[in-house]
Structure 1
Amino acid sequence: MKLPVEFEAKMRKLLGEEFSSYEQHLDDPAYYGIRVNTLKISVADFLKICPFNVTPVPWTDNGFYVSREERPSRHPFYYAGLYYIQEPSAMTPASYLPVEPGDKVLDLCAAPGGKSTELGAKLKGKGILVSNDVSVSRTKALIRNIEMFGIRNSVVLCTEAKYMVPSLHGFFDKILIDAPCSGEGMFRKGSNELKNWEQKGSEPYAKLQREIVDDAVKLLKPGGMLLYSTCTFSPEENEQVIEYMLEHNDDLSLVPMKMCGGFDHGHPEWTLSKREDVKHCIRLWPHKIKGEGHFLALLQKAPGKEEVLSYEKIKTPKLSDETKQFFKDCKMPIDWNHVREHQGKLFYLEEDLPKLEKIRVLRKGLFLGEMKKGRFEPSQSFAVALRPEEFEKYISFDLEDERTIRYLKCETLNVDIHTEGMHLIGTGGFPLGWGKIKKGRMKNKYASSWRWL
């Protein structure tokens, strides 16, 4: 791989004698991985049914290397949300943020959702996950991935961090910032990253990162923890951003993290003030590990007085008769005092949420479905958030049954089922979507935007 002259000089200075090893690895194929969705299945149980040859990723309990040629995106288990396809080094940020069930968690730069899906799985349905991205187009993939993972307690926003501060000041127990960066650690993945670096370099990103962390610290609860990460090597975007945070916030301190084989510590000599505590940061170099370049820093805010926030009031929705009839078959516990209705669409979020003033909200909880004239249309996201035992009418096709793929292709199917009406459809014991049965024919309700192509 031909590196930009300026970048090569920079890396020679940073790596010294290791530069030749780094340069050689740039021509190696990029690593490919999957991360198990522990919200739906344990790692042990997944390995019993895993259709691929996998080997563990050493820095996370539920990550595995898999060959790209095995095409994990072309398997029904992918559509059931049993795993997320992710570059192995990119698994570290969400893995290293110590999220516990019940936490209020913010993924600040969330699209396309790789980190959010893991954070949501770690919550185990308790607490709340707020996933935000400034790009409207990128939030489409973010919403789909969160929904496919069956995360019930999520809110999706599309705004800049500064607009969140008035409503959510000191609200979050845990915050992840996978910051926009110059992408130097991803050069092996393709030419777009190289072109972007040649056009912009590091400086505009370093300025943006400081603006983001300034607002993120305000959103963090006293005693809360924040993980900052990038996929670049630039000290200006890594150690120096952490240096900036610590110098501007006396109540922040770095937290040591577990080191794995091949990991490097942060470099005090690359800060402006030669701060020794940045050694608690972690650097991942592609010539030392089986993965791309990454940087991690875990910080904690000192305990203190918590903010008093203003919470929204929820008006219990008036349900149509058809909606009531549908939910007679639903065994998932739903507190209807926490169901929001917007233009006939129903959203369920068990946790109370502060009033979100002047913030673009794209999703506020699990989308259950839509009340339409004469019927209730359950959503795709509701289907994959359910467990088989949580809906009375459930049909599971075998993995080898041709109807499984035909269903994912949105085809109408013949079924030997005597009950009629809306059914939850799945495979291998995992729900995929809905189907409406009448006289042995199933009208396919699988979301066309999710379909197998």
Structure 2
Amino acid sequence: MNNKTYIPDEFIADVASYIPAHLTIDDFIASCRSGLRRAVRVNTLKMSQQAFEHEAAKLNWQIEPIPWCAQGYWLTRPADEEASLPIGNTAQHLSGCIYVQEASSMLPPMALATSLTPGDRVLDMAAAPGSKTSQLAALMENQGVLVANELSSSRLKTLAANLKRMGVANCALSHFDGQVFGDYMYESFDHILLDAPCSGEGTVRKDPDALKNWSLASNQDIAEVQKTLIHSAFMALKPGGTLVYSTCTLTPLENQQICDHLLNAFPGDVEVISLHDLFPEADRAATEQGYLHVWPQIYDSEGFFIAKFKKTGSVENPQQKTKKGQFPFSPCSRKELQTFETSIRQQFGIASLPGQLMSRDKELWLFPQNMDALAEKIKYSRIGIKVATTHKNGVKLEHEFATCLGHLATNNVFALDPTQAKAYFQGQDIRLDATGPAQGEVILTLCDAPVGLGKWQKGKIKNKLPRDLVLNGQLITWV
């Protein structure tokens, strides 16, 4: 119980006016003051659930499946490990095999997942820090196109770093106010996730000061922004496509009333897809409209709201706009393509890559499949992954070539032990007991997942981890 959690009387009075009859305000306040269970999601782009469960048993991690996400688990680590090693510095996290993600925040991607098909074009309109984006990418199995947008520059950098660590290769990043998508990308997406900026009332169990700046006036101001965003999302959605709207707040001002705004704005062209049977016992949080209003005491989680809609008809948008400026990428020349493919085939046994290889100056980028129809509609911060840079003697492979595509390699792969992995993430070369068995570059793995590149040298592997990713402090092992 955290008695320092700030819960203003005005907030309690407001909640009391709309809390469902079968729930009590006392239970709500008690839940808000109680600690939040740690939850993690297995990143199936890098590790299977079976392998994670095996690893957890070896480490004496206590895990409990999260009912609405097959890849999600509540996790308790031994006390000595918890005290000496942050979970972000464990091998499982550093390798991108797990993502620390609050359990209820796994719900919006799962609501969208029931409609996904291979090759879909999907938009995550407010994506940072990347928990739901990487979850969507895994659910899409790195196929199709996932456009991840973030307005904040600093949060965009965090998003990009997380996607590289998690091995996401089918993503294009953009840096806009989400209001632009309805005009510039009119009816372009098969599915859209709008995890809208909100007042964050549901996050108080994680952040005791989450309600420090709470006010009804602020809720109302945020709701106006949410209305413009959901309108833009609906315009960007193809007829027949689905839209999931979610928030980590509780007030109907930012939840049910935003859904009402959408339904009233487009009568006859939108319908609610009920989520009452999304998972066993989902009906405990379901509203009469078919939304999920997750109160913290229902599943012992953060508060959340999730709604799903289907666009049943095309809606005219007279405000459509076209991006100005020349697209800076072009398909690779035959020579560039041959040089790159020969290099990765000889070094790693990789015969082909999913997607399209594109060139910008001397950079080689691997665009996701089905990107062609979206590529020139807006300006992107990045599309796909940067796999290499060309030079007069061949190509220099990039870090994310390894993190996102290293699983395709059949040779020149080296599995790090905990001591070697600690050295690698601290920017040190990896000492070997004998001379390396090969020459050139090598893909390094941890927990059987690719984490980066090295270069074979006598008695060691030269560290090629980008300097901005070097970590300090206790890693992987503990006392």
Which TM-score applies when normalising by structure 1? 0.89
> What residue in structure 1 maps to residue 477 of structure 2?
none
State which of 293, 311, 318 in structure 2 corresponds to 1:301.
Answer: 311
Assess, with a 3 A threshold, how the Cα gap between structure 1 residues 346 and 200 changes in structure 2: closer, same or farther.
farther
Partner of 1:422: 441
Match of 2:389 among 350, 361, 370: 370
Q: Are residues 94 and 391 of structure 1, via their aligned partners in 2, closer, same or farther at CA, if it must alter by over 3 Å? A: same
Q: Please identify runs of 4+ aligned residues in structure 1 that moved more than 6 A.
A: 309-313
Could you tell me which residue of structure 2 aligns to residue 339 of structure 1? 357
1:29 equivalent in alignment to 2:55: no
Q: Deviations over 1:39-74 (max 9, x none)?
A: 223212321223422111122111001137644312
1:38 is aligned to: 44
Looking at structure 2, the residues matched to 405 and 200 of structure 1 have their Cα atoms a distance apart, in angstroms, of 49
Contact persistence 1:86–1:114 (CA under 8 A): yes
Answering whether residue 77 of structure 2 is matched by residue 77 of structure 1, we say: no
SS of 2:193 mapped into structure 1 = strand
Aligned partner of 2:75 in structure 1 is 66
Deviation of 1:414 (Å): 2.2
CA–CA distance in structure 2, aligned partners of residues 178 and 236 of structure 1: 15
Match of 2:454 among 435, 438, 449: 435
TM-score normalised by length of structure 2: 0.84
Distance of aligned partners of 1:222 and 1:46 in 2 relative to their CA distance in 1, 3 Å threshold = same
* 2:117 equivalent in structure 1: 100
Report matched runs for 1:29-428 at 5 Å: 29-50=35-56, 51=59, 52-67=61-76, 70=82, 71-98=86-113, 99-198=116-215, 201-250=218-267, 251-257=269-275, 258=277, 260-261=280-281, 264-265=284-285, 279-302=289-312, 314-317=330-333, 319=336, 323=340, 326-328=343-345, 329-334=347-352, 338-349=356-367, 350-354=369-373, 356=375, 359-372=378-391, 374=393, 376-398=395-417, 400=418, 402-415=419-432, 416=434, 417-428=436-447
Deviation sequence 1:145-176 (CA, Å, 0-9, x none): 11112122111111123333344211111110
Q: 1:167–1:355: 8 Å Cα contact kept in structure 2?
A: no
Does structure 2 retain, via aligned residues, the 8 Å contact 1:107–1:177? yes
* Residue type of the alignment partner of 2:160: I
What CA RMSD, in Å, does the superposition of the two structures yield over aligned residues?
2.9
How far has the Cα of 1:377 moved from its partner? 2.9
Residues 159 and 359 in structure 1, CA contact (< 8 A), matched pair in contact too: no
Alignment check: 8 A CA contact 1:182 1:196 kept:
no
- Cα distance in 1 for partners of 2:442, 2:76 equals 36
The answer to which structure, 1 or 2, has the higher relative contact order (CA under 8 A, 6+ apart) is 2
Contact 1:316–1:337 (Cα < 8 Å) also in 2:
no
Instruction: Report Cα offsets for 1:201-257 as digits up to 9, x if no partner.
Output: 301110000000111001111111110000111101000000110111121111111
Q: 1:39 to 1:310 in 2, by over 3 A?
A: farther
Structure 2: segments with no counterpart, 5+ residues: 473-479
**Unmatched segments (≥5 aa) in structure 1:** 268-277
Identity of aligned residues (%): 27
Residues 208 and 29 of structure 1: is their aligned pair in 2 closer, same or farther, counting only changes over 3 Å? same
Q: 1:201 to 1:304 in 2, by over 3 A?
A: closer
Summarize deviations over 1:285-338 as a string: whole Å, max 9, x none: 11221211000001111156999x999884324529975653232444546992
Match for 2:463 among 441, 444, 452? 444
Opposite residue 132 of structure 2, the aligned amino acid is K
What is the distance in 1 between the residues matched to 2:205 and 2:305?
16
Change in 2 beyond 3 A, CA 1:333/1:434: same
Aligned pair count reads 441
Instruction: Provide, for residues 378-417 of structure 1, a one-character-per-residue CA deviation record: whole Å limited to 9, x for no partner.
Output: 222211112445253111123x4x1121112110122231
The AA in structure 2 aligned to 1:109 is A
Contact 2:187/2:237, CA 8 A, preserved across alignment: yes
Q: Secondary structure at the match of 1:208?
A: helix
